[in-house]
């Protein structure tokens, strides 16, 4: 009997090994069979071995693969246990993201949404197909120019709050005697606190000051929500069902519940007391009632007839994903921009001249139109986003059979539903074919004379097509407001603690500076 049992177990083990071997052969030779260039994968980790063991950032790996596939229009890569096709040709990227968008409406699966937290299921980023389309249609009017203008005043209040705090902190450094005799700050932590306060007031209707009150609950919960360990992300990519079975959440359940309760309690209070405030939560409440419409003349809005009414989970989900995106992404852009300005003093001085002109004309209280009309500020931010876009790549998942066209360097490829493509944003931004001396910080690339010379589909910091980042207007307005207020009174400068040269941190899911983003902050004379 024991012999029979061992025989059965041995047979099962051999069968499992044979099945695994057969799967591996099919998986690892997929691109060879398609006739595409590819990088041989490592079992389970694919081409992301360096990222998994914190040796190289995913941003650098994407650039390396992109360069290895030159001059091919596309190549094959392996992201952990998933095979994907990297699209290198801008015209094919345009076709996929715009012309043939109906074949690529979804993002790749990351978490099995139907088994995830019910709020997580309803996030716009996770939704697919018609559900995504209906939600996007409902939310689009919340991000029109007029709605952004209404929230502008909330951002300027945080900008002034930031300046007031720094003015007190730098009082002792009125006359710096050397380059380190200034207020030294870790800029990512600094800007994360400010963007937290912007999101708190403009999305949740909560007033906090995370600089003066560094341990406030809203900021603490925000940090917990946005802290995603590399190993957790890898395990969700490799074993999503197991992670859900074990009850290991991707986002902190405690933080999710906190923000859900803030949304629920705020809505209840506003409805009972008739409170109206020009923030995102008010717009989501309007959408919940089916009352959110675009302003007359706005082309990016949506008609109420095409929208859906939001549930309480829908409202909480969009507020939370709005927080998650704004909390880290905007602070990342501000962090890298501050480093670049400190490194290039001539750019910082020229930008401050523009800022001074705006502040003088406005009496220290610039309008929405004045801030958004700052051309050099826009050029500096655009160049920062080119060099340090927060996402190294964006993905699309095929939802209908599709044929990638044959090119001079690649055969035609038949894609099936479920196949994933990667658009290597950072690598395209650093391709010398599109940007001369791409490693050089040069805001003049985006001046009025040269901006139109940038090849279409080679500048993609927010993605492109119908699934372009819905909050890009809000994010750009926030960056501009905060930089303008800061530079009107202070300057960034390099100190001995500043890491030189700038390198990408390899052990972080999000874009960050290796060694910390330490800079000096000094009052302007």
pLDDT tens-digit map of 395-410: 999 999 999 999 998 9
226 and 260 in a common domain: yes
Residue 302 pLDDT grade (very low, low, confident, very high; cuts 50, 70, 90): very low
Considering the domain boundaries, does residue 225 fall inside one?
yes
Tokens of 322: 């709005």
A 10 A CB-CB count for 59 gives 25
Q: What are phi and psi of 404, to 5 degrees?
A: -70, 130
DSSP-derived 3-state class of residue 470? coil
Asked if residue 469 belongs to a known ligand binding site, the reply is yes
CA 173 to chain centre: 35
Considering the domain boundaries, does residue 296 fall inside one?
yes
Side-chain-side CA neighbours of residue 431 (13 Å)? 25
Does the pLDDT value for residue 296 go beyond 50? no
Highest-confidence segment of 160-174, 309-323, 418-432: 418-432
470-473: long-range contacts, CB 8 A cutoff, minimum separation 24 = 470/124, 470/136, 470/139, 470/140, 470/143, 471/143, 471/322, 471/325, 471/326, 473/143, 473/145, 473/148
Can you tell me the distance from the alpha carbon of 386 to that of 494, in angstroms, rounded to the nearest whole number?
22
Considering the domain boundaries, does residue 340 fall inside one?
yes
Side-chain-side CA neighbours of residue 26 (13 Å)? 7
Q: Quick one: pLDDT at residue 347?
A: 98
Does the pLDDT value for residue 195 go beyond 60? yes
- The CA angle 30-36-42, to the nearest 5 degrees, is 50
- Answering whether pTM is above 0.75, one says yes
Considering the domain boundaries, does residue 392 fall inside one?
yes
CATH of the domain at 330: 1.10.630.10
Q: Which residues contact 327 (CB under 8 A, 6 or more apart)?
A: 192, 195, 196, 199, 222, 225, 226
Tokens of 400: 């209908």
Number of domains in the chain: 2
Which of the two residues, 417 and 28, has the higher pLDDT score? 417
Compute the mean pLDDT over every residue in the chain, rounded to the nearest whole number. 87
Q: Quick one: pLDDT at residue 438?
A: 96
Q: How long, in residues, is the chain?
A: 525
155 and 11 in a common domain: no
Does the pLDDT value for residue 375 go beyond 80? yes
Tokens of 399: 């939802």
Residue range 352-356: mean pLDDT, rounded: 98
468 and 327 in a common domain: yes
208, 492, 503 from 211: Cα distances, Å: 9, 18, 27
Q: Quick one: pLDDT at residue 115?
A: 57
Cβ pair 460, 390 in contact under 8 A: no
Residue range 429-446: mean pLDDT, rounded: 97
Considering the domain boundaries, does residue 7 fall inside one?
yes
| Domain with 18 in it | 1-25
Can you tell me the distance from the alpha carbon of 474 to that of 458, in angstroms, rounded to the nearest whole number?
22
Considering the domain boundaries, does residue 30 fall inside one?
no
101 and 8 in a common domain: no
412 and 307 in a common domain: yes
Considering the domain boundaries, does residue 165 fall inside one?
yes
Give the residue from 88, 104, 100 showing the smallest Cα distance to 458.
Answer: 88
| Diameter of the chain measured on Cα atoms | 93
128 and 20 in a common domain: no
Residue range 486-504: mean pLDDT, rounded: 96
Residue range 469-482: mean pLDDT, rounded: 94
Can you tell me the distance from the alpha carbon of 146 to that of 19, in angstroms, rounded to the nearest whole number?
58
**pLDDT tens figures, 48-99:** 877 777 788 888 999 999 999 999 999 999 987 789 999 999 999 999 999 9
Q: Where are the beta strands (DSSP E) in 304-393?
A: none
Give the residue from 376, 44, 353, 326 showing the smallest Cα distance to 193.
Answer: 326
Cβ pair 93, 431 in contact under 8 A: no
DSSP-derived 3-state class of residue 36? coil
202 and 169 in a common domain: yes
Which of 111-115, 182-186, 336-340 is predicted least confidently?
111-115
Can you tell me the distance from the alpha carbon of 187 to that of 185, in angstroms, rounded to the nearest whole number?
6
Give me the percent of the chain exceeding a pLDDT of 70: 92
233 and 345 in a common domain: yes
Token pair 């035609």 is at which residue? 412
Which of the two residues, 200 and 508, has the higher pLDDT score? 200
Q: Quick one: pLDDT at residue 307?
A: 55
Does the pLDDT value for residue 492 go beyond 80? yes
**pLDDT tens figures, 268-277:** 888 888 888 8
| Burial classification of residue 493, based on how many CB atoms lie within 10 Å of its CB (0-12 exposed, 13-18 middle, 19 or more buried) | buried
Considering the domain boundaries, does residue 78 fall inside one?
yes
91 and 202 in a common domain: yes
91 and 21 in a common domain: no
Does the pLDDT value for residue 246 go beyond 90? no
166 and 76 in a common domain: yes
392 and 346 in a common domain: yes
């Amino acid at each position: 009997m024991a012999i029979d049992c061992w025989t059965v177990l041995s047979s099962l083990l051999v069968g499992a090994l044979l099945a695994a071997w057969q799967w591996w052969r099919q998986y690892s030779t997929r691109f060879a069979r398609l006739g595409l260039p590819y990088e041989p994968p490592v079992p389970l980790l694919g081409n992301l071995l360096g990222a998994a063991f914190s040796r190289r950032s995913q941003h650098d790996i994407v650039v390396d693969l992109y360069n290895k596939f030159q001059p091919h229009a596309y190549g094959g890569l392996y992201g952990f246990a998933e095979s994907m096709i990297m699209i290198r040709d801008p015209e094919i990227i345009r076709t996929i993201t715009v012309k043939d968008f109906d074949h690529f409406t979804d993002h790749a699966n990351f978490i099995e949404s139907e088994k995830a937290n019910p709020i997580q299921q309803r996030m716009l980023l996770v939704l697919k197909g018609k559900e995504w389309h209906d939600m996007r249609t409902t939310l689009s009017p919340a991000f029109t120019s007029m709605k952004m203008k209404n929230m502008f005043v909330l951002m300027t209040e945080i900008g002034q709050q930031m300046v007031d705090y720094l003015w007190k902190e730098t009082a002792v450094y009125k006359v710096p005697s050397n380059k380190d005799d200034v207020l030294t700050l870790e800029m990512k932590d600094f800007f994360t606190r400010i963007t937290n306060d912007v999101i708190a007031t403009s999305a949740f209707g909560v007033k906090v000051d995370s600089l003066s009150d560094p341990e406030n609950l809203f900021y603490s919960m925000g940090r917990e929500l946005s802290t995603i360990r590399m190993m957790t992300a890898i395990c969700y990519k490799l074993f999503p069902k197991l992670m859900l079975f074990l009850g290991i959440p991707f986002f902190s359940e405690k933080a999710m519940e906190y923000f859900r309760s803030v949304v629920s309690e705020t809505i209840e209070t506003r409805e009972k007391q008739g409170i109206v405030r020009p923030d995102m939560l008010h717009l989501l409440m309007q959408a919940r009632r089916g009352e959110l419409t675009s302003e007359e003349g706005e082309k990016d809005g949506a008609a109420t007839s095409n929208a859906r009414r939001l549930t309480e989970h829908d409202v909480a989900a969009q507020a939370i994903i709005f927080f998650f995106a704004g909390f880290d992404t905007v602070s990342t852009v501000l962090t890298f921009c501050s480093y670049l300005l400190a490194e290039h003093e001539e750019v910082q001085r020229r930008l401050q001249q523009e800022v001074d002109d705006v502040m003088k004309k406005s009496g220290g209280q610039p309008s929405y139109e004045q801030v958004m009309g700052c051309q050099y500020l826009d050029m500096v931010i655009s160049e920062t986003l080119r060099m340090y876009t927060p996402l190294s790549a964006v993905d699309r998942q095929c939802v209908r059979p599709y044929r990638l066209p044959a090119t001079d360097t690649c055969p035609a490829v038949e894609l099936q539903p479920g196949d994933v493509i990667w658009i290597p944003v950072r690598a395209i931004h650093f391709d010398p074919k599109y940007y001369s001396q791409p490693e050089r910080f040069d805001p003049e690339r985006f001046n009025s004379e040269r901006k139109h010379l940038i090849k279409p589909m080679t500048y993609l910091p927010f993605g492109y097509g119908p699934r372009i980042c819905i909050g890009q207007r809000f994010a750009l307005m926030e960056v501009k407001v905060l930089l303008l207020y800061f530079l009107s009174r202070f300057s960034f400068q390099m100190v001995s603690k500043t890491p030189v040269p700038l390198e990408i941190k390899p052990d972080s899911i999000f874009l960050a500076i290796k060694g910390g983003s330490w800079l000096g902050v000094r009052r302007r004379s």
